Chains A and B, each alone.
Chain A
Amino acid sequence: MFTRSTAFAASADDMMPFNAIRLVLLVPLVSAGVLALVPNYRWSSRLNVVASLATFLASLLLFVHRPAPTALTQIDDLNIVFVVLNTFVTLTTSIFSASYIEHELETGRLTPAYLRFYHAMFQFMMFGMNLALVANNIGVMWVAIELATLTTILMVGIYRTPEALEAAWKYFILGSVGIALALFGTILVYMAARPVIGAGLPAMAWTTLITRVADFDPSLLNVAFIFLLLGYGTKVGLVPLHAWLPDAHAEGPTPISAVLSGLLLNVALYAVLRFKMLLAANPHTFAPGPLMIATGLVSLIFAAFMLYRRRDIKRLFAYSSIEHMGIIAFAFGMGGPLANFAGLLHMTMHSLTKSAIFFSVGHVAQVKGTQQLDDMGGLSVTHPMLGWALVVGVAAIAGLPPSGIFLSEFLVVSSTFARAPLLAIPLVIGLLLAIGALFMKLGGVVFGEPRGSTAPDKASYVPFVVHLMIVVIAGIWLPGPIVSWFHNVAHLLG
């Protein structure tokens, strides 16, 4: 399978000595292998950062030189956004992870042997996610998402406490069911494509599917989409298929929570979007929009209510991720240039903000020695830097101006008001509920009576600050080229 694809690729771009897509895939894969062999954790955490940096630079190369689509990989305007975001957040998370794991070693929650495994899996997971994003084959994409899922399951269970094992097991069972349903949907898409395109690889390639989809059997496509939405929707964390998400976020290491929320949910969403594009290009299928609108709204409102009852800080932000995934699914379900634009922007901003919040939450939980909201308080007195970082992060995720989330939420709401005012009411109610819950919980943690340990923190603020700066700058001023880029993609999405 690989020999065929490389032969194909070599003929497609002879001009370049290398292929940037291959770099984006090979760097994490090779470094996963190397990291599995490095015994010293200091070296491996540095190597992890270097590898992530190299992958990020390789993904930037895609802007300059875009390889032609091959039988197995492709880069277009849509997935390049996801790839660059993915590799960027990976880079900052690897920097955060370096300071995070040092503390975990000191407290004895992780041993050096486990760290070796952790770093190797971290890069392997990146390989899986990048492969899912650049795959030009619905089968390969499925395999890649499954790969990324399996590695995160291992990471979630890495502390081996009963809670962590339960979370991993739950994630495994629900994730596998989701992934199985997605495969069934994938097979159905192939069944629909075969009579038109003919048997073989082209009938599974995005590039051929999208051009020929208008002639596919619409009823097969309809059923396929339902399976795909259910299957990949489980991975997106849409209600009622979200049960794994809070546990997986709360019980695993915090860098993994950041990657889960910031990236893996996006990758699954990307898969849903691709299939939605297929359906949109066939005039006889049902409109997938209302289905996504409904699940999005249910997720948003359900998660907003659940936020009030959370007592664990990482679970709190996990539910906030469900809420935001609901908003994004809603926006893409609405469709049209403006709502799609808002959805894309919201997705990017949410990735950056939520991973930044997990960076600070990770350090907060470490210095306080607990994740329970009741046992921590008065951060602004005991750890002013961390406390204010959390305030800024929560303000940004709640969508207060000037954060980029405000801009994207504003666009979602206003485009909904323009086209379906009735739908805007539950949307706004959900948003307000979530804001209330977040600030209520935040108040106790940051202000109020100082509770919990006052040990000094050894946090690294660079990743947090970089993410938040981007979010705030985007909220105030989006550079012209980025706007036109997003507009272009929004049109692609139909």
Chain B
Amino acid sequence: MHGLAFDIAHLLAGGLVLVSFVMLYQDRMYALINAFALHAMLLALSVAWQARVQDAPHLYITALLALVFKATIIPAALRRIVERLEIHREIEAVVGTGLTMLAGMALVALSMVVMLRVTAGADPLAREDLAFALSIVLLGLLMMVSRRNAVSQVIGFMSLENGLVLAATGAKGMPLVVEISVAFSVLIAFIVIGIFLFRIRERFDSVDVHALDRVRRERR
């Protein structure tokens, strides 16, 4: 775990954080979905690299899952949904892009400070990975709260899950149980979301979560 191996792992994990930022400021659905596909692809590369470096062949399965499922199938399905629901254009953010980016930077700084401090004893790769992973998780959370559109909230959630997979693979020798289950839960989660989106579609003309808020009558 020296030199090149470390640098490449670092580069890939850093790339994931960067793409998380890219997703934060997308204002078109298709562009956002493409950015997510890129995110998933980087994750697949990063996991595959970990598999090679750690000599843990089972991680290749996780990488493959990320590549096939998250980087290919889900974006395709999302594009279909967007097409059907005709929501290509609008992504209304709750706060402005500039403010969101600033908040994102603050969150990344926070996770660096927290994780690098508490993991002082751990090996450097796991340390960096955890710090990056926490940044991705927090950026995913930020995306979920700063978007009103249901599809982009889902994408925020999936990018958050990507961060978790990065953390899980960075933790050396973490049993396969978890990796598969994470992938699995994403699958289940996606089915759930799919059902939800279609149900919402049946009742409303928009998947804007605020449309849901408007129909509510009695909130207490």
Contact = CB atoms under 8 A, between A and B. Distances in A.
Are A and B subunits of one complex?
yes
Interface of A: 1, 137, 139-140, 142-143, 146-147, 150, 153-154, 157, 160, 162-163, 165-166, 168-169, 172-173, 176-177, 180-181, 183-184, 186-188, 190-191, 194-195, 198-201, 203-204, 217, 219-220, 222-223, 309-312, 315, 372
B216 to A, nearest CB: 6
A180 B160 contact: yes
- Pairs A-B, 6 closest by C-beta atoms: A199-B173, A162-B215, A219-B118, A139-B178, A166-B212, A143-B181
Contacts of A180: 137, 140, 157, 160-161, 164
B203 A177 contact: no
Given A184-B134, A188-B130, A217-B118, 17 more contacts: A146-B185, A160-B203, A162-B212, A162-B215, A166-B212, A169-B196, A173-B153, A177-B160, A183-B168, A187-B164, A191-B126, A191-B171, A194-B172, A195-B121, A199-B173, A201-B177, A311-B220
Interface size class of B (residues with CB under 8 A): 35 or more
Contacts of A163: 215-217
Interface string B156-173: 010011001001100111
B209 A223 contact: no
B193 interface: yes
B213 A166 contact: yes
Contacts of B173: 194, 198-200, 203
Contacts of A198: 173
B81 interface: no
A150 B188 contact: yes
A240 to B, nearest CB: 13
Contacts of B196: 157, 165, 168-169, 172
A143 B168 CA distance: 14
A466 B162 CA distance: 47
15 contacts: A137-B177, A139-B177, A150-B188, A150-B192, A157-B199, A162-B216, A163-B217, A187-B171, A187-B178, A191-B122, A198-B173, A199-B172, A204-B174, A311-B218, A315-B220
A142 B180 CA distance: 13
B212 A169 contact: yes
A177 B175 contact: no
A311 B140 CA distance: 35
Contacts of B144: 173, 177
Contact of A169 (B126, B176, B182, B200): B200
Contacts of B115: 223
Interface in B80-113: none
Contacts of B134: 184
Contact of B176 (A1, A143, A172): A1
B73 interface: no
B218 to A, nearest CB: 6
Contact of B121 (A150, A168, A172, A217): A217
B12 interface: no
Nearest to A198: B173
B189 to A, nearest CB: 7
Contacts of A187: 164, 167-168, 171, 174, 178
Contact of A220 (B118, B133, B188): B118
B150 interface: yes
A438 to B, nearest CB: 15
A169 B150 contact: yes
A165 B177 contact: no
B114 interface: yes
Contacts of A162: 203-204, 212, 215-216
A191 B119 contact: yes
Contacts of B195: 154
B118 A139 contact: no
A140 B199 contact: no
Contacts of A309: 220
B212 A143 contact: no
